[in-house]
Amino acid sequence: MNALSLRTVVAAAFGSLALAACGGETAVAPPIAPPPEPVVTPPAPTTTATAAAPPPDAGPPAAPAPPQLTAKGFPLPGATGPVGYDYIVAERARGRVWVPIGDTGSADVYDVAANAFARVDGFKTAEREIRGKKRLVGPSAVTIGDGFAYVGNRATSEVCAVDLKSLKLGKCLKLPVPTDGVAYVASTKEVWVTTPKDHSLTVLDASKPDTLKAKLVIKTEGEVEGYAVDETRGLFFTNLEDKDKTLTIDVKTHTVKATWSAGCGEAGPRGVVLDVARNQVIVACTDKVEVLDGAHDGAVLSKLDTGAGVDNLDFVDATKLLYVAAGKAAKLSILKIDDKGQLTVVATAATAEGSRNAVADANGNAYVVDGQGGRLLVIPAP
């Protein structure tokens, strides 16, 4: 320490004593606060974005609803509506749909590619009382044979041949009982006619295609309804509407081989179609369809509600699609059938009240008749 610093310290000391002697307070410097500890901010936790877990009872996500298709209407030739009709058929080889109409006494043939009708005229008509109302009846069913179509006429109980090339009405054969559905059996060159009022099937000889001849009658135990032919196995299928049964008949011997319970209930079964490759028999009840196992005594493989008012139905082998029109529900359902006979809805379409007996062409387009409006409704393929 140098001399100047020493004198300064001594003077300060004496000054302090003097202040103390005079009663003054000692000025004490405040303590120096320790430097603050550094504040360490912990890093924010790293998180991974994840979807919220569904509640444990939520179940699998719902499947998307099947698409709704839109029908387009085409006026039937000469028809103003309402008109009477029953069975229609798709002639897939020529891309045509046949629509027999009782009121106009014609079979209207719709050309799919040309989007136009040709008309087969000359069928007789008659007035009948149906459910308390008088109606005009006439041609009501059709099947496609070898070079000829065969049209059943309820007014005259006739089955008439129509040339597929010229669309000219040919010879008619009158039956002793009223006709209903008609089906061509290629392997035996026969036309089978469902004749429910007589509890029978009437078999016609079509070996000469333009001239039908009566051959035999197969008696049944009830009112036959619907028809389908398995050419591979030589079988004919039909239902007994009033007995809730499905029959399997040998087309060569004309004998009933099997009788199955249709399972439709009191209203009974209506139409029937086949998936021949998988030996499945599809039966229409009035409000649903059932798939029966043809290899195991008609065991039920699946059922599906389709709405009220189902009559006949159609099946396309290439796509395995089933077409079902419910007249009371005014709805068309297009269904897929898998190898196990399970049914799923592919698409639906709103139709018209009373529209039933849907058919489909080779491209999957569907057709039903709007009887009240006198139109053919065309629904595009799903």
Q: Has residue 140 been placed in a domain?
A: yes
Comparing CA positions, the residue from 336, 289, 338 lying closest to residue 309 is 289
Radius of gyration of the chain (CA): 42
Query: Helix, strand, or coil here: 7?
Result: helix
Domain that holds residue 101: 68-379
Tens-binned pLDDT, residue by residue, of the chain (382 aa): 444 343 443 334 334 433 333 344 333 334 434 444 444 444 444 444 444 555 666 667 777 889 999 999 999 999 988 999 999 999 999 999 999 999 999 999 999 999 999 999 999 999 988 778 788 899 999 999 999 999 999 999 999 999 999 999 999 999 999 999 999 999 999 999 999 999 999 999 999 999 999 999 999 999 999 999 999 999 999 999 999 999 999 999 999 999 999 999 999 999 999 999 999 999 999 999 999 999 999 999 999 999 999 999 999 999 999 999 999 999 999 999 999 999 999 999 999 999 999 999 999 999 999 999 999 999 999 9
Q: Has residue 77 been placed in a domain?
A: yes
User: What are the backbone dihedrals phi and psi of residue 10, each rounded to the nearest 5 degrees, phi first?
Assistant: -65, -45
Give the C-alpha separation, 32 to 365, whole Å.
96
Contact between residue 249 and residue 237 where contact means Cβ atoms under 8 Å apart? yes
Check which CATH number belongs to the domain holding 347 and give it: 2.130.10.10
- C-alpha distances out from residue 95 to 113, 163, 265, Å: 7, 16, 37
Note the pTM of the prediction, 2 decimals: 0.83
Comparing CA positions, the residue from 229, 12, 182, 225 lying closest to residue 88 is 182
| Number of domains comprising the chain | 1
Q: Tell me which H or E stretch contains 305.
A: strand 299-305
Q: Has residue 151 been placed in a domain?
A: yes
Q: Has residue 120 been placed in a domain?
A: yes
Q: Has residue 274 been placed in a domain?
A: yes
Give the C-alpha separation, 211 to 207, whole Å.
8
Give the C-alpha separation, 184 to 94, whole Å.
17
Q: Has residue 101 been placed in a domain?
A: yes
Q: Has residue 226 been placed in a domain?
A: yes
**Looking at the DSSP assignment, which residues form a beta bridge with residue 218?**
201
Q: Has residue 155 been placed in a domain?
A: yes
